[in-house]
Structures are given as structure tokens and as C-alpha cells.
Amino acid sequence: MPFIPHTEQQQRQMLAEIGLTMDGLFADIPADLKARSFHLPAGLSEMEVRNRLAELAGKNSVDLTLFLGGGFYDHFIPSAVYSIISRSEFYTAYTPYQPELSQGTLQAIYEYQSGICRLTDMEVSNASLYDGGTAMYEAMMMAMRITGRNKVIIDDSVHPIYRVMIHSHTQNLPVDLNETHCTNGLANRAEILDRLDDQTAAIIVQNPNFFGCIDDFTDLAKAAHEKGALLLVSCYPISLGILKTPGAMGADIVTGEGQSLGMPMSFGGPYLGFMAARKEHVRKMPGRVVGETTDREGRRVFVLTLQAREQHIRRDKATSNICSNEALCALTALVYLALLGKEGLKETAQRCADKASYAYQRLTAIKGVEPHFKARWFFNEFVLDLPCEAADVIARLIEKGFATGFPLSRYYKGMENSMLICVTEKRTRQEIGMLAEAVESVL
């Protein structure tokens, strides 16, 4: 049965009405992107489908020991997270436009927003965005709306995928994007300050940056503010258990990928973009915002607020074309944070840092393995230089059962021998020892 609502006759009528042929209608789509044929194989039975999918799934390496980070992290997820978020009241909840029947969802989002604000040390948070990259793009557009300027400075120590996303989002927009080049693991102060002027809307940086190095952007916040520009910081939420917060540095908008807060690493997501800002900028912020109020009987209740920023009211002048959020992922982050608590988050972050430090010592003790950046603080990721191409070493380590590191040459020129290694609280001393032995054996 074809799931196409209109008949061939209707199609002909519509095409005749606009004076086009079917090919003419789709002429703008390049030939190489068009489907060559729609002849699909005959259907399979459920059992055959299951077998086929199991066969395909079997090609994945699911039992590797992970030392791979680069923006997405293998943290322990307490079982209670799934038990709570999979309750049908949460799982099937839809857009909470009607507060009188969406109090549970609205309260969960409100508490998520409170959690993000406490974590980042900022005043307001939205109900979440799609992922860390879109959140950064939205923050950039927000900074341009606030300042009425269109020049943006972004350091290349910011996640390469986020920068690719910003480039593709802005290629047809009047944005003057300036990329600076990180020096010895830190955002390039000289280049950034050289580009910073009274036409600049924002400086975008990341902490810890893509190389795992820890920075303090207080100086950049001050410099940006002196020119009337904003400082945008992307951060790794788990690291905030022990690191100086973007809020304390003077950041104006904070974004990040929230996957590390209770979500598994999964190709394609769903992931969680978070965004928090100073209160004075709330009306320029994209996305849903839940606020607390009282009903006519004086009870504490929650509603979507400041909706005039959004597409269903503001139409083409809305702050963003994103009018949805990642509600279930936001709930996951909230439940994870609540289960860990303040001390639990601090302890998790400390363990990541301690174990990464131990791994760094073990690995740099191997002959021929050197730290790429000299004398740099890192959180739970660091860059090592190998005596040969990193991609080859990584491939050989997969055979030994380790997903070890990210080959930096994929995004950075001249880093063919460098790999980014990540250690979370899940890795044991024994696993780190086995990794060191495996690395030594393949060099």
C-alpha cells in the first residue's frame, strides 16, 4: 500500500496548475542527491528482520574499554535514572502549552533550569536545545541580537564539530566569523585581543577546551565587556563539579553538551544542548523558558513564560526557529544531578581528574610518548604525541580491546602523531595499567 495521499491524477492537476513537470519541480536538487530508484526489496517477516538487524548490530564493537572523549563522555549512569525517566507520565508528555494539565513536565523543566543555573553560576536557563553545537550557534546569534553587531571571534580550541556547525549555519548569513589559533593548549589571547573591537558581538571559547586543557577566561570577559562585546563559554558540565564556573569568570552566555549528565554515548544522540545567561539578556534568549508563579488559589505552579520571544507568537522575528526542546534528555540531566547531589558531582569530577592524572603519568612514562602541550593543566583529557601516526596506533589498540583516544589530525593540521585521551570515573586502575601496556606493545 503506497502511503502517498494524492493520486496520479491529482499530481498532474497540481503540476498543470503551476505549469511545471515533476522533474522541473525538483530541478533545484542536484542530480547526485536524487534517488536513483525507489525499487525496494520485498518485505521481510519480523523474524527475518530481527535476524538481519542482529547480524548488523553484531558488527559493532560494544565491549571496548573506552578512553575516548572529545565532547562525549562515558560516565556511570545510576539505574535509578532510567527507572525515573521512563515513567509514562514523563515519557509520553507533550509540549506543555496547557499548564493546567502539564504541571509535572513543567516542574521538571523548571528544576532542570535551576540545576543548570547552579551548575554554571548563571541567572537564567532555557528548557534546553538540541545539542552542544546548536546551543553554541544559538548563543552566537543571541549575542548578535543583544549587541546589534555581527563580528564574532572563535578560538580553534573550541570543539571542531561545533565550529563546523557554526560555519554551515552562518554561510548565508551576514556574520563576520574570525577564527583564532590556540597557542600551547590555550585560547590565543594575543590574536583574540587583536581582533576584538567595537564591532565585535562575541568571543567564543570553551573550557576545558577540545584538547582537555583548563583555562580561566576572566581576562577575556573583562576585555570583551570593555568593548561592549559578550563572552560566550561552552563547558563540560561534569567538570564544573571542581572547576571555576563560567559565571565566576564573567561569561555572559554559557552553553554546552549535556550528554555527560546521565545520557549514554550514542551515535546521533539524542543529546542535550544547554544554555544559561545573565538575567538582563533573557528576552533575547532562544527556546522555551519555564517560570514559577502562583495560581488563583495561591498555589505554587509552573508555566511557559516569556513566550513572546518564540515562533508561535513572534513568527519570523522570533529569537530562534527552534521552538522545541529536548525534554526527556533535560529530565535525564535533572534526575542524574539530583541523584548525585552536590557532593556526588564534586566527587565524580575529582575522580575523573585523578584518574586522568594517573593515566597521564603511566602513558608519558612510555618511551617515545610525550605530552603535546608543555606544563598545562587538564581536567580528564590530554593530548599525547606518539612516535608514529596516531590513527594507526588507535586502529591497533581497537584490536586489543581499547577505544583509545581521538586522532587529532582529523581536525588539526600538523597533529598526525597526536591523540586525545579521555579518562572518566568508570575506568579502573587496572584498566589504565592494561592500556599503558597495550600502548607500549604497539609502538
Partner 1 sequence: MVVEGLLYTKDHEWAKVEGDVVTMGITDYAQEQLGELVFVELPQVGKQLVARKEIAVVESSKAAGDVYSPVTGTVTEVNSELGTKPELINEDCYKSGWICKLQVTDKKSLDNLMNAKKYQEYLDTL
Closest approach, Cβ 148 to partner 1, in A, equals: 8
Identify whether 208 is preceded by a cis peptide bond (ω within 30 of 0): yes
The answer to whether residue 279 forms part of the interface with partner 1 (CB under 8 A) is no
Residues 6+ apart with CB under 8 A from 165: 133, 134, 136, 137
Closest approach, Cβ 404 to partner 1, in A, equals: 52
CA distance 314 to 260: 33
The answer to whether residue 317 forms part of the interface with partner 1 (CB under 8 A) is yes
Task: Tell me the Ramachandran region of residue 128: left when phi exceeds 0, alpha when psi lies from -120 to 50, beta otherwise.
Answer: left
CA distance 129 to 138: 9
Return the ∠ at Cα 121 (arms to 146 and 217), rounded to 5°: 70
Instruction: Give the end-to-end CA distance of the chain in Å, rounded to a whole number.
Output: 58
- Interface region with partner 1, contact rule CB under 8 A, candidates 69-77, 183-191, 305-313, 360-368: 305-313
Selected binder of partner 1 within 227, 314, 396, 426 (CB under 8 A): 314
The answer to whether residue 296 forms part of the interface with partner 1 (CB under 8 A) is no
Between 310 and 385, whose beta carbon lies closer to partner 1? 310
Closest approach, Cβ 248 to partner 1, in A, equals: 28
Residues 6+ apart with CB under 8 A from 340: 78, 348
Closest approach, Cβ 318 to partner 1, in A, equals: 9
Closest approach, Cβ 323 to partner 1, in A, equals: 14
- Interface region with partner 1, contact rule CB under 8 A, candidates 25-33, 85-93, 229-237, 312-320: 312-320
Cα–Cα distance list, 93 to 85, 116, 305, 401 (Å): 11, 21, 18, 40
Selected binder of partner 1 within 225, 279, 283, 300 (CB under 8 A): 283
Selected binder of partner 1 within 101, 308, 365, 395 (CB under 8 A): 308
The answer to whether residue 313 forms part of the interface with partner 1 (CB under 8 A) is yes
Written as nine digits, the cell of 386 is 606518539
The answer to whether residue 145 forms part of the interface with partner 1 (CB under 8 A) is no
Closest approach, Cβ 310 to partner 1, in A, equals: 9
Closest approach, Cβ 143 to partner 1, in A, equals: 16
Q: Is the dihedral of CA 177, 182, 185, 187 positive or negative?
A: negative
Hey, what amino acid is at 307?
Q
Tell me the per-residue interface mask from 7 to 46 with partner 1, x by CB under 8 A, - otherwise: ----------------------------------------
Between 5 and 148, whose beta carbon lies closer to partner 1? 148
CA distance 309 to 288: 9
Task: By CB under 8 A, name the binding residues for partner 1.
Answer: 283, 308-309, 313-314, 317
